[in-house]
Amino acid sequence: MAKSTENDNNHSFHYLILNPQKGSILDLLRYILFRNIPCFSNFIDTTLQHENNTNINGVQHETSLFMGPTSDHRWIILMSIIVRKILGFFAKPMEWFGFFVDFMLNLFSNNGNLLGLLHNFIHGQVVIPKRGSETFISAMGQLDWRIDLHKGQILAQDSDASDEALKPEMGNRALMDLCMMASKLAYENSQVIKKVVKHHWKMHFVDFYNCWNDYQKEMSTQVFLLCDKAKDANFILISFRGTELFDADDWSTDFDYSWYEIPNIGKLHMGFLEALGLGNRIEPSTFYFHLQMKNKSSETRPEKTETTAYYTLRTKLRSLLEEHKNAKFIVTGHSLGGALAILFPTILVMHEEMDIMEKLLGIYTFGQPRIGDRQLGRFMEAYLEQPVPKYFRVVYCNDLVPRLPYDNKTFLYKHFGLCLYYNSFYREKEMEEEPNRNFFGMRFMLSEHVNAVWELMRGLTIGYIEGPEYKEGWFCIFARVIGLVFPGVSAHCSTDYVNSMRLGKHSFIQMSLL
């Protein structure tokens, strides 16, 4: 590994930052049309570039990142930059459209759908949705209205049965259903979450946090905690909110390839670190401070006016484990929430918080993107595989997000932990890696769209086959229709993950994507 630069204050960490805002559309065109490497490198800031080039401001940008046998990988960077520029351009329209969609969906649902709305309008009794109230449901919640646990009630009702149900195993349907429902519930506001946890799940709601996200520069990292009981709890559950449907910044984070490297540990996704409040790409040296193992105490970190997720959760978790002496904790999340769910204990290990990690029961993620490279996976496997596996990564069929960021020789993003893969018949198979790990390409294109047709047909009939609990509403069917064009996006919705937990059957044969 190359030595650190003086600009990094002799810090030994390296980084790669892809910033679509640093270059223009003209720079992209110059590269696409004329292969102008200096224009292309305007979007990139990396310590490797600084070290290997003799003129970082001129035309000599011939690092291994740009030239030689890895030149084809520039197209991966290019696609990331283009996608994130498009998302940045449409960020505000997406936000406004999301507000409109959320309002209209709640207007219909609060008034008994279209006919009920017309009736209430005629009689002057229209119920106006109030954002942030316990009746205002997110777009993700509108896709799938289920809020009750399937078989997970046993976790809160019988202490003896709860001990059995708490075993962190792939076949533990009760615990996995609880984690998936908690991951879905994390998309809601604090009032909805509190109501569901207390009155539907009969568990103890601890708190809801809206934390500072250094990538988005706003309070947008959301997480809630619950215990199975208010006193002498068996477990504590931490659930992170995932990628919101109409949040361009969330999707941009999933398509970001920026990383920060820690010697002897590996590369970590920079956007996810920022979401936990562990650094700022504008000042890369902040990652060094937050990630160095000797800097684990709250007394030595810089004062921040914003609340950050990692430090807030670490403090609260330590307090809860002191209060509930016999409790263990579970971390879960869907999509971006899944990335934060595995990253949180990863940083605990890096900070040598072994007293907390000894209380880890399990990590369950659903549709989770990659958070680092193979070296990071090897580092964490030593803590998550012994004496029994504690990290389980669930992937449904053609879901695009678990195939991000792109896995190739340049970026080396790799999943780790055991993958529980479900095909579109909800048949499960334990695998090291989901099929079609990078999603894009002609090889799987036909099967992806054929599968989307089947998912639409299944969505229209599943309520008659499996029962009314599984009936899909018009908004979910609309998402299935969109899946005919963008199958990887529609497959990411929570409906199929909930169905996978409840209908999944183990398969002993090799499965295709269909």
Task: Tell me the C-alpha distance between 308 and 235, whole Å.
Answer: 24
Cβ 162 vs Cβ 330: under 8 Å:
no
Phi/psi region, residue 391 (left: phi>0; alpha: psi -120 to 50; beta: rest), is: beta
Helix axes 91-110, 74-89, angle to 10 degrees: 60
CA 316 to chain centre: 22
Beta-carbon contacts of residue 431 (< 8 Å; ≥ 6 apart)? 418, 419, 420, 421
Helical H runs in 130-266? 139-143, 154-157, 159-165, 173-185, 190-195, 248-254
Of 399, 415, 424, 496, the catalytic one is 399
Of 14, 61, 269, 492, the catalytic one is 492
For the chain, what's the residue count? 514
Neighbours of 379 (CB within 10 A): 19
Cβ 248 vs Cβ 188: under 8 Å:
no
Q: Which of 66, 64, 85 is nearest to 75 (CA)?
A: 66
Task: Tell me the C-alpha distance between 279 and 288, whole Å.
Answer: 8
Cβ 229 vs Cβ 204: under 8 Å:
yes
Q: How far is CA 405 from CA 252, 441, 476, in A?
A: 11, 15, 26
Please confirm, yes or no, whether 335 is among the known catalytic residues. Answer: yes
Q: Taking the CA atoms of the chain, what radius of gyration do you get in angstroms?
A: 23
Of 4, 80, 335, 490, the catalytic one is 335
Q: Which of 144, 160, 196 is nearest to 498 (CA)?
A: 144
Phi, psi dihedrals of residue 481, rounded to the nearest 5°? -65, -45
Neighbours of 303 (CB within 10 A): 4
Please confirm, yes or no, whether 399 is among the known catalytic residues. Answer: yes
Provide the terminal-to-terminal Cα distance of the chain, rounded to the nearest Å. Answer: 43
Task: Tell me the C-alpha distance between 339 and 366, whole Å.
Answer: 9
Q: Which of 222, 225, 284, 294 is nearest to 258 (CA)?
A: 284
Beta-carbon contacts of residue 476 (< 8 Å; ≥ 6 apart)? 143, 144, 459, 493, 495
Phi/psi region, residue 187 (left: phi>0; alpha: psi -120 to 50; beta: rest), is: alpha
Please confirm, yes or no, whether 27 is among the known catalytic residues. Answer: no
Q: Which residues are catalytic?
A: 335, 399, 492
